[in-house]
Amino acid sequence: MDRLDELESQSVFILREAFARLKRIAILWSLGKDSNVMIWLARKAFFGQVPCPVMHVDTGKKFAEMYAFRERYAKEWQLDLLIEPCPPIDAVDPTLPPAARSAARKTEGLKLALAKHGFDGLIAGIRRDEEATRAKERVFSPRGAEGLWDVRDQPPEFWNHFNASPPPGAHLRVHPILHWTESDIWAYTKRENIPIVPLYLARDGKRYRSLGDADITSPIASDAATIDAIIAELDATRIPERSGRAMDHESEDAFERLRKAGYL
Amino acid sequence: MNVVLSSQLRPAAALPVRPLVRVVIVGHVDHGKSTLIGRLLHETGNLPDGKLDALKAVSARRGMKFEWSFLLDALQTERDQGITIDTSQIQLRTASRDIVLIDAPGHAEFLRNMITGAAQADAALLLIDAGEGVRDQTRRHGYLLHLLGVRQVAVVVNKMDRIGFDAARFRDIAAEITGHLVGLGLTPTAVIPVSARNGDGVVRRTPSTAWHQGPTVLEALDTFAPARAPADLALRFPVQAIYKFDERRIIAGRVESGHIGVGDEIVVMPGQKRARVQTIEAWPAPDAAHAPRVASAGQSIGITLDRELFVERGNVIAPSANPSTAAKRLKARVFWLNARPLAVGGVIVARIGTAEARGVVTAIANAVDPGLLASDGAEVIGQNHVGEIALELAQPLATDPHTSDAGMGRIVLEFDGRIAGGGLVLSVEAAAAGAASHSAAATRAAGTHELHSDASDALKGHAATLARLFEALSPAKRLAHLRREIAGRIVFTTSFGLEDQAILHLIAERGSDIEIVTLDTGRLFPETYALWAETERRYGLRIRAVYPRQDDLEALIERHGINGFYETREARVACCHVRKIVPLERALGGAQGWIAGLRAEQSAHRRDMALVTAERGLIKLNPLFDWTREQLASFVAANSIPVNPLHAKGFASIGCAPCTRPIGPDEPERAGRWWWEDETKKECGLHNRA
C-alpha cells in the first residue's frame, strides 16, 4: 500500500463507520476538489453507490462553472441531490466582519437544512492542513443543538473508535478526509481521474486554489494548467491555500468565530 | 494550517512516494513543545510566507514577548491563556520524509486531547526541561505512549542553555528517563540535548553540544518509520457492515492483520461458522482478469462468501485454522478519562474492533496515577489514572491478547455514550460451553489475585529508576528523596527490630511526613512492648497500632488451636496471614509508599529483594538494604537508639514470641524464626509479594 492507498483506506473506513453508526446522514457537497474526492471515496466505500443524500447548501453566489459541474455530475453519478438555500444576509450576525458575515449565510442555511431533514450526521470534506482551527478537529465531531462547536470539550477519539451518539437535538460532523493534504487531494484526483471544476486550472496567468462564493474568493497568480503542474506548484509554494478566501483574514479570530458557530 | 514548501534538504522525489510519518510531541507543560516545533519549522524553511510576521504581530498586540506557541495554539482561548488545550497538527518535510507533527497539550487537565493526538502517531518525541528533569507529566506521557502502542520514542532534553550545557546533568536525566522508558518496554531511539529557543541541536549541531555524539532532532525524525498494519500475523477482519445494494451480499471492513485470499477457508467469530472466500470486490469494477485475489492488513475491502451465513457488524473473520477467542471475561490495563471514577460493579460498553458489548467491572488492581506511579491502593480508577480491570461481558467479543495482536488486543471503554477509556487486553477467557460450572465468586476471587500479583510494568519501571538513583545515597537521603518523589501517604512499618529502630530514628529526627505503624500480632515478647513504650517516650510520638480482626482471629484459633502453628506449615501461614498480612493491608490502605527494614544479608531468600521494589501496588523502599549488621550496630550505638534487650540475649531477628528463638554465633540471622521450617520458606509473606 502506498501513501494514497492508506489515505483512501482510512477514509473508506470512516465513511462506512458513519453509515453504520448514524441513523440519517448526508454528504455535504460544495462542488470543490475536496468534496469531489469525498464523493468518489463514498462510491468506493459502497461499491459504486452513494447510499445517502448529497446536499449542496447553496448561497446562490457560486461561479457559473460550479453550477454546471453540479448539474452534470449529480446526474452522471446518480446522486440523491438536495439543494438547500441560504437566508439573506440580514439574518446573519451583524457583528461579524463583512466577508465573514457573507460566508456565515452558509451556516444559517445549514441550520435550516438540518432542522428540515433531521440529519444526525453531516459528512464534510474539511482537512487539517487547510487552517489552524480545522487542525484541531475530531473525525466524529459533536455539534450542540444550535450547531455550536465546543472546542474546550472535545471528546477523546482514538484507534478508529468514534463517538457516534450525539445527545438529542445535536448532530455529528464526520470528517473522512481530515488527514489528507492539499497535495494528496490533487495526487489522488489525478490517479483516480476524478472530474474537477475547470476554475482550478490556470487561464491567463490565474487560477483558483480554493473555491467559494464568487464575490469573496479571488484567484492566485499561476501558470499551472494541469494537475501535475498544480502539484509541482504546491511543492514550491509558501502561500497558504485559503489566502484567496477573504473571510479568513479580516480579523485574528474571524474564522474561529465562524467555525464555533457551525461553519465547516 | 497550510504549510507546504521545499527545503534545501529535500531531494527531487515525486510527492506521494515520500513516506508519511506522524510524530506526536509530548511532555510536561512548559518544557518547550511549541518552541521546539517553531524552531524546527523555521530552520527547515517549512513556515509559510508571512507566518512569522503574523505571529510577531499577534504577540505584540497582546503585549507579550514573541511566542512560538501561537503557531499551533489556534484558538482564541489558547492564545489568551497561553496554554495548548487541544491537539494540533502541522506538516514538516525532512530529507526523506513527510512528517506530521502532532502537538499534544502538556496540561494534565487535557489528557484526553493528548491521548487523541498520540494515538494517531507512529512515533513520539518526549520533551524534558533540563532544569526541571523528569516530572510527573513526563512519566504520565511515557506510560500512555506504552498503553497507546507508540513504540518509537526519541527523548529531547530541552533548555540546555539554562544549565550551561552541563553534560553530566544531561547524562543523569538521560539515565533516569531511559530507565523509566525501558521499564515500560520502550527503548528510546535517541536522547538529544537541545536548546529549542536558540536552536542548538534541533536542526544544527553547535559547539555548545559538541560533546553529544547522537543525532539532532531533525536527524532523529528522519529515522522514524510509519507504523504498518501487521501483514505477517494471522488474519483478523472485523466486519463493519453487510451491503446488499445489488445481487451481491458484500461483507465490508478493514483487514486489521494478516491477509485474506479468494478460496481461503475462514471462520466467523464468535459462533465459529465456516465458509470460503468467493470474491474480493472492488469499485470501479475491474475486468475478471484484474479482479483482486488477495487483500492484506490495512486495506478497506469487501468480500463475498461461498455460502449464506448469518454475518453481522462486530463479527471477526479469521482463518479456520487460527481463530481468535470469543471472550466473555477478559482482563485489561486501561486508562480512564471520565470525571466519575471507574469502580468495581461499574457498567461500561466495551468496544473491540467493530464489536461492542456491555460489561461489568468485576475487579480492579494497581490503580495508579501514571505520573506518580505509586498506587493509592484505591479500588477505583480515578480520572486520568490507569489500572487493571477484570470485565465480565454480556455477549462474547472476539479478541486476542495485545501481545499476540496489537489491533485486536485494544479495548475502548464507553461510558454514558462517550468514549471514556481504553487500553490493552492482557488475557482472555473463552466463552466455552459449560463455563457455568465456575461460580462467579470463584472467578472474581481468582481474577483479583492474578491482577494483584501482576504488578504494573509502570510501577516496576519507576521502582527500578529509583533503585538506581538511590544506590549511591545515604539512608537519610533515600528517605528524603522518596518523600519528594511520592505525593501520597508513605507508611513505615516497624516491628522494633534493630533496623526498624534505626529507620524510626532517622524519620523522627528529621520530622519527615512519614506515618509510623506497627502490627501488633498479640503474641509479641513483653520486651518488645516495653521497647514500644520507651520509643514513644524518647521521640515524643505515638506509633499507630493495627490489630488482627477479631472474627478472623476467633476462626483461626477455632480451626488450628492456640499454638497450632507448630503443627503444620499451613497453620503457621494461616496464623501469619490473620495476625500480620491482613493488618498490613489495612495499614497500607490508601498509601503510595512503604518503608521497611529489610537488609540483603539477612537471609539467602532476601538477597533477591532490592533497595526499591514495586510491591502490593506501592513503591517500597528498604533504606538500610545494603548495610551490614556491623554498620547497623555502630549507627545504633553512636546515636543511643533504644533497642530490644533480647538482642543481647542472642535473639537476632525478633518476631512473635512463640516463633522466635535465640541463634548461635555461627547461625544466619533469621535462623531463629520458625526454626522448625525449611530455610527457603521462612517468610511470613509480608515482604515477598512482587
ipTM of the complex: 0.94
CB–CB contact B16 A4 (8 Å): yes
Alpha-carbon distance B73 to B37, whole Å? 12
| Same domain? A14 vs A26 | yes
Q: Which residues of A touch B69 (CB under 8 A)?
A: none
User: Which DSSP category does B264 fall into?
Assistant: -
Is the C-alpha dihedral spanning A69, A72, A75, A81 positive or negative?
positive
**Domain map (residue ranges) of chain B:** 15-221, 237-319, 329-454, 466-681
Cell of B225: 518509520
CATH, residue A60: 3.40.50.620
| Same domain? A208 vs A79 | no
Averaged in consecutive runs of 10 residues, what is the pLDDT profile of chain A (264 residues)?
93 98 95 97 96 96 96 97 93 86 89 92 93 89 84 89 87 96 95 97 95 91 95 85 77 79 83
Residues 57-86 of chain A whose Cβ lies under 8 A from any Cβ of chain B = none
Q: How many residues does chain B have?
A: 690
Alpha-carbon distance B68 to B334, whole Å? 34
Alpha-carbon distance B158 to B192, whole Å? 8
Same fold, B15-221 and B237-319: no
Comparing CB atoms, the residue among B1, B61, B417 nearest residue A165 is B417
Q: Which residues of B touch A237 (CB under 8 A)?
A: 4-5
| Same domain? A157 vs A201 | no
Comparing CB atoms, the residue among A136, A167, A181 nearest residue B86 is A136
From the candidates A76, A152, A154, A161, which should be mutated to test the interface with B, based on the most B CB atoms within 10 A? A161
Q: Which stretches of chain B score pLDDT less than 50?
A: 1-16, 433-455, 689-690
Cis peptide before B284 (omega within 30 of 0): yes
Task: State the amino acid at position B336 in one-letter form.
Answer: W
| Same domain? A55 vs A156 | yes
Q: Which residues of B touch A165 (CB under 8 A)?
A: 417-418
Domain that holds residue A53: 3-180+253-260
- For residue A45, give Cα distances in angstroms to A1, B207, B372: 17, 55, 45
The pLDDT score that the predictor gives to residue B82 is 67
| Same domain? A75 vs A198 | no
Concatenated DSSP letters for chain A? --HHHHHHHHHHHHHHHHHHH-SSEEEE--SSHHHHHHHHHHHHHTTT---S-EEEEE-S-S-HHHHHHHHHHHHHTT--EEEEE---GGGS-TTS-HHHHHHHHHHHHHHHHHHHHT-SEEE----GGG-TTGGG--SEEEE-TTS---GGGPPP-BTTB----PPTT-EEEE-TTTT--HHHHHHHHHHHT----GGGS-BTTEE-SS---GGGB--EE----SHHHHHHHHHH--S-GGGGBGGGSSSTTHHHHHHHTT--
Q: Which residues of A touch B420 (CB under 8 A)?
A: 156
| Same domain? A54 vs A82 | yes
| Same domain? A104 vs A159 | yes
| Same domain? A138 vs A223 | no
User: Which DSSP category does B120 fall into?
Assistant: T
Give the A:B interface size as CB pairs under 8 Å.
169
CB–CB contact A151 B418 (8 Å): no
The CATH number fitting domain B237-319, selected from 1.10.10.10, 3.40.47.10, 2.40.30.10, 1.20.120.10: 2.40.30.10
CB–CB contact B299 A155 (8 Å): no
| Same domain? A70 vs A188 | no
Q: Identify the residue whose cell numbers are 453566489.
A: A61
d(CA A236, nearest CA chain B) in Å: 5
CB–CB contact B6 A236 (8 Å): yes
In the annotation, is B684 catalytic?
yes
The CATH number fitting domain B329-454, selected from 1.10.3720.10, 2.40.30.10, 3.90.25.10, 3.40.50.300: 2.40.30.10
Q: Which residues of B touch A9 (CB under 8 A)?
A: 254, 298-300
CB–CB contact B2 A182 (8 Å): yes
d(CA A257, nearest CA chain B) in Å: 9
Number of domains in chain A: 2
From the candidates A160, A231, A233, which should be mutated to test the interface with B, based on the most B CB atoms within 10 A? A160
Alpha-carbon distance A170 to A150, whole Å? 12
| Same domain? A48 vs A146 | yes
From the candidates B3, B6, B15, B47, which should be mutated to test the interface with A, based on the most A CB atoms within 10 A? B15
User: Which DSSP category does B612 fall into?
Assistant: E
| Same domain? A105 vs A196 | no
The pLDDT score that the predictor gives to residue B685 is 65
Please state which CATH number belongs to domain B466-681: 3.40.50.620
Q: Does A91 touch chain B (CB under 8 A)?
A: no
The pLDDT score that the predictor gives to residue B666 is 65
Read off the pLDDT of residues A50-63 as tens digits, 9 standing for 90 and up: 999 999 999 999 99
Closest CA in chain B for residue A168: B417
d(CA A187, nearest CA chain B) in Å: 7
Q: Which CATH architecture has domain B15-221?
A: 3-Layer(aba) Sandwich (3.40)
- For residue B374, give Cα distances in angstroms to B258, B422, B596, B622: 39, 20, 16, 16
User: Three-state SS for A176?
Assistant: coil
Q: Quick check: A16 and A112 in contact, CB under 8 A?
A: no
| Same domain? A153 vs A106 | yes
Read off the pLDDT of residues A81-110 as tens digits, 9 standing for 90 and up: 999 999 998 888 888 888 888 888 999 999
